[in-house]
């Protein structure tokens, strides 16, 4: 009995949500056919609770199965579906259509500054190269004082709490005008992930990372444009984290 009620409730609740028509204009590129990317329009019947990711699924599953994009968790955790939506970097799974102006077409394209592979998919390797370069893992060679645990006070933990939230979506780095110029700059995401360990009292590799980021392509290339902070879907104070790393380098310690 209870399961009958549950089975009927889901579809009925969704059907009750009014539908509307939205035009999505997606920048498509198939390297085997196209010399240049091209914009393609799709008129879609969507529900008020749908997200941009749902609209992309509708295109892929009902109109054109060749549309290529990345997604995995669909809930803002994996970081795989960052893309430019109406000119701003966002996660497709966290962007509700109703929060956009659906009386106008919604433009969707791949992240800027990373090599375009197909449709909404970019090559993330340059991004992950910079991430790997800052050695984003705990370096702790010595034994804990009591031989068992590396204790940390709440205040010590708070110093890097914000930067632990990064999901490596690349929305920040691919919104940075300095990164767009030549792609050599480490970029905000790599600095955020260096920050996460530089300010961790249990870590012993702060100086190594500060030396890496005190490079001509390191923190000093940041021009405090704040695009990265605006783009971060996790609300990380990216520009603030970069400023803290700059100050640590100048002080010679975290």
Q: Which two tokens stand for residue 181?
A: 């110029």
Instruction: Check residue 245 for interaction with ligand F3S (CB under 6 A).
Output: no
Judged by CB under 6 A, the residue of 91, 106, 122, 190 near ligand FES is: 91
Our finding on whether 83 is near ligand SF4 (CB under 6 A) is no
Packing angle, helices 188-198 and 238-251, rounded to 10:
60
Distance (Å) of CA 250 to CA 211, 217, 220, 245: 11, 16, 11, 9
- Least separation in angstroms between residue 68's CB and ligand SF4 is 21
Phi, psi at residue 21, to the nearest 5°?
Answer: -100, 135
Q: Which one of ligand F3S, ligand SF4, ligand FES, none is in contact with 222 (Cβ closer than 5 to 8 A by kind)?
A: ligand F3S
Q: Which is nearer to ligand F3S, 136 or 188 (CB)?
A: 188
Q: Quick one: which of 63, 73, 96, 151 contacts ligand FES (CB under 6 A)?
A: 73
> Any contact of residue 210 with ligand SF4 (CB under 6 A)?
no
Other beta carbons within 10 angstroms of residue 140's beta carbon come to: 13
DSSP conformational letter for 193: H
Query: In this structure, what DSSP letter does residue 63 have?
Result: I
Judged by CB under 6 A, does residue 178 bind ligand F3S?
yes
Q: Alpha-carbon distance 208 to 45, whole Å?
A: 53
Q: Which stretch binds ligand F3S (CB under 6 A): 10-18, 122-130, 145-153, 226-234?
A: 226-234
For ligand SF4, what does the binding mask look like between residues 16 and 55, x meaning CB under 6 A?
A: ----------------------------------------
Among 114, 122, 166, 190, binds ligand SF4 (CB under 6 A): 166
| Residue partners of 95: CB distance under 8 A and separation at least 6 | 51, 52, 53, 85
- Site size for ligand FES, by CB under 6 A? 12
């Amino acid at each position: 009995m209870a399961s009958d009620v549950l089975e009927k409730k889901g579809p009925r609740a969704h059907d009750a949500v009014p539908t509307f028509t939205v035009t999505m204009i997606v920048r498509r590129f198939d390297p085997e056919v196209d010399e240049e990317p091209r914009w393609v329009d799709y008129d879609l019947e969507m529900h008020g609770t749908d997200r941009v990711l749902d609209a992309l699924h509708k295109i892929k599953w009902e109109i054109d199965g060749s549309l290529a994009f990345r997604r995995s968790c669909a809930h803002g955790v994996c970081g795989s579906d960052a893309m430019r939506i109406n000119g701003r970097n966002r996660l497709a799974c966290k962007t509700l259509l109703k929060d956009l102006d659906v009386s106008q077409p919604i433009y969707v394209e791949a992240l800027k500054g990373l090599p375009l592979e197909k449709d909404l998919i970019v090559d993330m390797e340059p991004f992950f190269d910079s991430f790997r370069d800052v050695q984003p893992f705990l370096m702790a060679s010595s034994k804990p004082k009591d031989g068992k645990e590396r204790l940390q006070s709440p205040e010590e933990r708070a110093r890097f709490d914000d930067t632990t939230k990064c999901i490596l979506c690349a929305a920040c780095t691919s919104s940075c005008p300095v990164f767009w110029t030549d792609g050599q700059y480490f970029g905000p995401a790599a600095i955020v992930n260096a920050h996460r360990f530089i300010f961790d009292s249990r870590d012993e590799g702060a100086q190594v990372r500060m030396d890496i980021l005190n490079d001509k392509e390191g923190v000093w290339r940041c021009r405090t444009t704040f695009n990265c902070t605006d783009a971060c879907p996790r609300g990380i104070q990216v520009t603030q984290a970069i400023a803290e790393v700059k100050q640590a380098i100048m002080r010679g310690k975290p």
